[in-house]
């Protein structure tokens, strides 16, 4: 690792602990340097305690409120060697069961030999007044734990790896962590540790591991498989996986083949002929795909017979709703009574929600307990409001908890403890990925019904698979397509233009009234200028739309009209720097109080509190948008208000937040906004797709403004090509009996 400008090292003794975040181990300490100078050091220092001797390497930073602080990038830690230091270390409370009085007795008896006694001859502790044999054992155990953790951190720091990996390794492997890493440093390539493949590989090669070590090749194969989940693939064809691995670590095909074979033999990968490919899966995804296929087929083949009461029931629900169903809606409601699993699809304004309301009422009359759910918080909230009953996110419905041993997320509702629901209705199903559907089906009782509602023309889920489309295209599940656009909806140009785009026709860009506008700005600088003006003055002043209700969307992160550039400009325009408005720099972003921000990954254990003090809970999810309410420079925490929930981010968690004045269309999936402004400019062909334009348009509730180049809109409308996702679900649903070699072709 290079030692860039400003990097220095020095040593000292920990004088006191100013702050420590229990979860992330982000720590602020006061350090007494050898020359007597006292300095403030910040960094990852799990279980730091007074008396400890540190050798730190890093840089001086100037903190806006606290002045100079030393940010430690590397830390060498050693236990104190002098009796006074040992006493202050033990008195700090770091060892469970040892307070200042006991510490004094122990150090009084064993002096500089104390640590050796704690580690090697803990039974001698019981000769001290107040320490029973049992307590001596506990003290030794706690000491061993602390020492192990410290050694691990030291080793991680010396290896140039991020120190934040240490608590995670310790959580998973305890005192054996270092041993395990020495045996196989490629353990670190597990995504959980946040260590890049390249860093782990560098470490291993530096330790003398040969380039063709099976552990290395296997880790590279696993990395490629995992990495490709992020592109939505459920499996990778053998040829592609082998080629990618060969390229990643510069190794020949034979070694890669051996690695795939041994991973398969050890059941750490699954290889199977499906959808015309030799498909390589990670075991979890293989299990999910086969489970979903099996469960869905079983449900699809196990409906209920039509009842004579159906007509009367539907009529009573129509009366209660005060409408008359269109024929296809009637069919949907009827099929919901007869099928164990059903798909309900349609574009905007085709009456999906109206049907769902009817189905809920009907199930109610039939005495069925129904759970309404959606993949995002926003979608669930909207579903609940429109249906007049409680709806929750799938994650909340299934209950999440961390396995403290493995650090993995678990759902508390599963086969052993299924949901107490006779029917589950999912909205925005196009956003549900394969693993989430696996979890949901696993938590549904044998006899429960499932209704999946959505618009398959929206962009597919972020996670792996093309679940909703695969289910529809398999034709193995009863599907009701709603196509009629209702009168009220027909009055909306947003709805009509969305349907036009979906058919591959240009939206009407000439209309100068209504809820859909096009402002022609062929140059990017003018696009930006216009967007700023719309957000700052035109929409708030002329249409009474608060900037907080406007969402700027763009297909891309980069370029002049991408999220990065737009966010900087929108921040300066809508939430400029002001005395008293605190700021914090993190990576490439400057966060400021009042900023609109988005959570960019699922965080299941971040704690939130209701703003009215009525309760608390955990979990802020990918795509949730909030506002920075406070920045505390002392603790380096940032408080964000998400709707009515406050969540606090410690310094190291800020990587989970991004500015959100402007967001990509992909990130906007499942959300709706009062007003949407879409920057329509030419970008890379992958982003210029009909799905992106269609999704952007359908995010707007009252007002949509396209700002940009008409040619870009034409290009997007015409481009119906979708990126292929490797998934075997459709093939599995279509075949009978166990998979056979080359049995089916997807697409």
Could you give phi then psi for residue 84, rounded to 5 degrees? -65, -40
Closest approach of ligand ATP to the CB of residue 455, in Å: 7
State the Cα–Cα distance between residues 264 and 250, nearest whole angstrom.
22
Q: Binding to ligand ATP by residue 717, rule CB under 6 A? A: no
Closer residue to ligand ATP, CB minimum distance, 10 or 486: 486
C-alpha 146, offset from chain centre: 31
State the Cα–Cα distance between residues 321 and 1, nearest whole angstrom.
67
The neighbouring-strand residues paired with 27 are 20, 43
Closest approach of ligand ATP to the CB of residue 487, in Å: 7
Which listed range, 232-240, 297-305, 350-358, 651-659, lies at the site for ligand ATP (CB under 6 A)?
350-358
Dihedral over Cα of 40, 42, 46, 52: its sign: negative
- Residue from 76, 147, 271, 353 in contact with ligand ATP (CB under 6 A): 353
Closest approach of ligand ATP to the CB of residue 488, in Å: 4
Which listed range, 198-206, 351-359, 465-473, 563-571, lies at the site for ligand ATP (CB under 6 A)?
351-359
How many CB atoms lie under 10 A from the CB of residue 415?
A: 11
- Residue from 340, 352, 438, 521 in contact with ligand ATP (CB under 6 A): 352
- Residue from 114, 245, 354, 370 in contact with ligand ATP (CB under 6 A): 354
Closer residue to ligand ATP, CB minimum distance, 242 or 359: 359
Closer residue to ligand ATP, CB minimum distance, 352 or 715: 352
Distances 318 to 265, 325, 359, 691 between C-alpha atoms, Å: 58, 7, 11, 34
- Residue from 351, 377, 507, 623 in contact with ligand ATP (CB under 6 A): 351
Closest approach of ligand ATP to the CB of residue 475, in Å: 22
State the Cα–Cα distance between residues 221 and 249, nearest whole angstrom.
10
Q: Where are the alpha helices (DSSP H) in 159-282?
A: 165-173, 177-183, 197-206, 214-229, 238-249, 253-265
Q: Binding to ligand ATP by residue 689, rule CB under 6 A? A: no
Closest approach of ligand ATP to the CB of residue 324, in Å: 6
- Please check whether residue 202 is in contact with residue 246, taking contact to mean a CB–CB distance below 8 angstroms: no
Closest approach of ligand ATP to the CB of residue 672, in Å: 8
Q: Binding to ligand ATP by residue 454, rule CB under 6 A? A: no
Closest approach of ligand ATP to the CB of residue 723, in Å: 24
Closer residue to ligand ATP, CB minimum distance, 91 or 329: 329
Nearest of 558, 334, 317 to residue 451 by alpha carbon: 334
Which listed range, 204-212, 303-311, 320-328, 578-586, lies at the site for ligand ATP (CB under 6 A)?
320-328
Q: Binding to ligand ATP by residue 348, rule CB under 6 A? A: yes
C-alpha 649, offset from chain centre: 15
Could you give phi then psi for residue 495, rounded to 5 degrees? -65, -50
- Please check whether residue 369 is in contact with residue 421, taking contact to mean a CB–CB distance below 8 angstroms: yes
Is 349 assigned to a binding site? yes
**With contacts defined by CB under 6 A, how many residues of the chain interact with ligand ATP?**
16
Closest approach of ligand ATP to the CB of residue 486, in Å: 3
Q: Binding to ligand ATP by residue 349, rule CB under 6 A? A: yes
Is 351 assigned to a binding site? yes
Q: Binding to ligand ATP by residue 499, rule CB under 6 A? A: no
C-alpha 185, offset from chain centre: 26
Q: In this structure, what token pair is assigned to residue 86?
A: 């040992």
Site string for ligand ATP, 574-593 (x = CB under 6 A): --------------------
State the Cα–Cα distance between residues 714 and 508, nearest whole angstrom.
11
- Residue from 350, 461, 476, 669 in contact with ligand ATP (CB under 6 A): 350
Distances 724 to 232, 460, 464 between C-alpha atoms, Å: 9, 11, 12
Distances 350 to 1, 513, 586, 654 between C-alpha atoms, Å: 58, 23, 44, 41
Degrees, nearest 5: CA angle 194-662-588: 40
Place of tokens 């469960």: 295
Closer residue to ligand ATP, CB minimum distance, 262 or 353: 353
The neighbouring-strand residues paired with 659 are 597
Closer residue to ligand ATP, CB minimum distance, 434 or 480: 480
- Residue from 329, 551, 554, 717 in contact with ligand ATP (CB under 6 A): 329
Collapsed DSSP state (helix, strand, coil) of residue 529: helix
Closest approach of ligand ATP to the CB of residue 382, in Å: 8
- Please check whether residue 455 is in contact with residue 699, taking contact to mean a CB–CB distance below 8 angstroms: no
State the Cα–Cα distance between residues 508 and 496, nearest whole angstrom.
9
Closest approach of ligand ATP to the CB of residue 354, in Å: 3
Query: What are the start-end ranges of the E strands in 53-131?
Result: 53-63, 67-78
Which listed range, 257-265, 271-279, 372-380, 482-490, lies at the site for ligand ATP (CB under 6 A)?
482-490
- Residue from 489, 531, 532, 707 in contact with ligand ATP (CB under 6 A): 489
Q: In this structure, what token pair is assigned to residue 81?
A: 């060697």
Q: Binding to ligand ATP by residue 376, rule CB under 6 A? A: no
Closer residue to ligand ATP, CB minimum distance, 492 or 556: 492
- Please check whether residue 84 is in contact with residue 55, taking contact to mean a CB–CB distance below 8 angstroms: no
Closer residue to ligand ATP, CB minimum distance, 384 or 399: 384
Is 310 assigned to a binding site? no
Closer residue to ligand ATP, CB minimum distance, 350 or 571: 350
The secondary element (H helix, E strand) that includes residue 387 is: helix 377-387
In this structure, what DSSP letter does residue 493 have?
H
Closer residue to ligand ATP, CB minimum distance, 332 or 657: 332
Distances 38 to 64, 82, 87, 127 between C-alpha atoms, Å: 19, 19, 20, 38
Closer residue to ligand ATP, CB minimum distance, 238 or 486: 486
Q: Binding to ligand ATP by residue 325, rule CB under 6 A? A: yes
Closest approach of ligand ATP to the CB of residue 468, in Å: 14
Nearest of 372, 375, 285 to residue 621 by alpha carbon: 375
Which listed range, 202-210, 319-327, 659-667, 724-732, lies at the site for ligand ATP (CB under 6 A)?
319-327
Q: Binding to ligand ATP by residue 481, rule CB under 6 A? A: no
Using a 10 angstrom Cβ sphere, with 0-12 exposed, 13-18 middle and 19 or more buried, the burial of residue 208 is exposed
Closer residue to ligand ATP, CB minimum distance, 139 or 333: 333
Residues 190-249 that bind ligand ATP (CB under 6 A): none
Q: Binding to ligand ATP by residue 646, rule CB under 6 A? A: no
Q: Which residues bind ligand ATP (CB under 6 A)?
A: 323-326, 329, 346, 348-354, 486, 488-489
- In the annotated binding site for ATP, the residues are 349-353
């Amino acid at each position: 690792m290079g030692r860039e400008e400003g990097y220095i090292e020095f040593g000292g003794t920990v004088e006191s602990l100013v702050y420590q975040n229990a979860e992330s181990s982000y720590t602020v300490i006061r350090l007494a340097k050898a020359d007597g100078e006292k300095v403030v050091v910040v960094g990852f220092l799990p279980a730091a305690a007074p008396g400890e001797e540190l050798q730190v390497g890093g840089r001086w930073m100037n903190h806006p409120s606290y002045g100079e602080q030393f940010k430690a990038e590397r830390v060498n830690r050693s236990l104190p060697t002098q009796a006074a230091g040992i006493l202050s270390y033990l008195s700090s409370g770091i060892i469970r069961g040892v307070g200042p009085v006991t510490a004094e007795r122990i150090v009084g008896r064993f002096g500089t030999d104390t640590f050796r006694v704690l580690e090697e001859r803990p039974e001698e502790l019981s000769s001290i007044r107040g320490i029973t044999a049992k307590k001596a054992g506990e003290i030794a155990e706690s000491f061993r734990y602390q020492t192990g953790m410290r050694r691990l951190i030291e080793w991680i720091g010396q290896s140039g790896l991020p120190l934040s990996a240490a608590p995670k390794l310790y959580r998973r492997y305890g005192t054996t962590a270092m041993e395990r890493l020495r045996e196989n440093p490629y353990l670190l390539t597990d995504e959980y540790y946040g260590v890049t493949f390249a860093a782990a590989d560098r470490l291993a090669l530096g330790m003398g591991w040969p380039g063709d070590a099976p552990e290395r090749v296997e880790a590279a194969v696993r990395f490629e498989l995992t990495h490709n989940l992020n592109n939505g693939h459920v499996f990778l064809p053998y040829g592609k996986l082998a080629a990618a691995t060969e390229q990643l670590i510069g190794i020949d095909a034979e070694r890669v083949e051996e690695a795939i074979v041994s991973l398969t033999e050890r059941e750490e990968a699954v290889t199977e002929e499906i959808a015309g490919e030799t498909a390589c899966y990670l075991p979890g995804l293989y299990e999910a795909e086969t489970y979903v296929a099996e469960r869905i087929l079983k449900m699809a083949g196990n409906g209920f017979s039509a009842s004579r009461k159906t007509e009367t029931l539907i009529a009573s629900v129509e009366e209660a709703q005060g409408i008359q169903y269109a024929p296809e809606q009637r069919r949907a409601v009827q099929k919901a009574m007869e099928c164990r699993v059903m798909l309900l699809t349609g574009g905007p304004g085709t009456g999906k929600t109206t049907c769902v309301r009817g189905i809920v009422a009907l199930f109610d009359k039939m005495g069925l307990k129904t759970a309404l759910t959606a993949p995002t918080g926003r979608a669930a909230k909207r579903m609940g409001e429109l249906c007049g009953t409680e709806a929750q996110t799938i994650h909340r419905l299934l209950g999440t908890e961390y396995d403290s041993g493995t650090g993995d997320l678990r759902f508390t509702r599963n086969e052993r403890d299924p949901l107490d629901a006779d029917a589950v209705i999912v909205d925005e199903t196009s956003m549900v990925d394969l693993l989430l559907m696996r979890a949901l089906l696993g938590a549904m009782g044998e006899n429960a019904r499932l209704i999946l509602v959505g618009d398959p023309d929206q962009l597919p889920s972020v996670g792996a698979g093309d679940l909703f489309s695969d289910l529809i295209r398999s034709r193995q599940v009863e599907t009701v397509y709603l196509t009629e656009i209702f009168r009220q909806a027909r009055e909306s140009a947003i709805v009509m233009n969305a349907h036009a785009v979906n058919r591959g026709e240009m939206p009407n860009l000439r209309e100068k009234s209504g809820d859909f506008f096009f402002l022609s700005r062929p140059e990017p600088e003018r696009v930006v200028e216009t967007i700023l003006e719309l957000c700052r003055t035109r929409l708030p002043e002329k249409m009474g739309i608060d900037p907080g209700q406007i969402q700027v969307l763009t297909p891309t992160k980069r370029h002049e009209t991408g999220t990065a550039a737009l966010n900087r400009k929108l921040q300066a325009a809508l939430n400029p720097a002001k005395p008293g408005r605190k700021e914090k720099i993190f990576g490439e972003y400057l966060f400021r109080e009042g900023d609109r921000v988005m959570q960019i990954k699922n965080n299941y254990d971040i704690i939130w509190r209701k703003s009215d003090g009525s309760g608390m809970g955990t979990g802020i999810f990918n795509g949730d948008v909030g506002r920075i309410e406070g920045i505390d420079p002392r603790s380096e925490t940032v408080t964000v208000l998400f709707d009515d929930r406050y969540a606090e981010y410690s310094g190291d968690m800020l990587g989970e937040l991004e500015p959100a004045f402007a967001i990509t269309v992909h990130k906007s999936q499942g959300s709706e906004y009062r007003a949407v402004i879409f920057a329509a400019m030419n970008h890379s062909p992958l982003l210029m797709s009909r799905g992106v334009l269609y999704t952007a348009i359908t995010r707007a509730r009252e007002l949509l403004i396209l700002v940009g180049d008409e040619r870009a809109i034409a290009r997007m409308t015409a481009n119906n090509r979708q990126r292929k996702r490797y998934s075997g679900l459709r093939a599995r649903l279509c075949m009978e009996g166990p998979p056979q070699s080359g049995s089916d072709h997807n697409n």
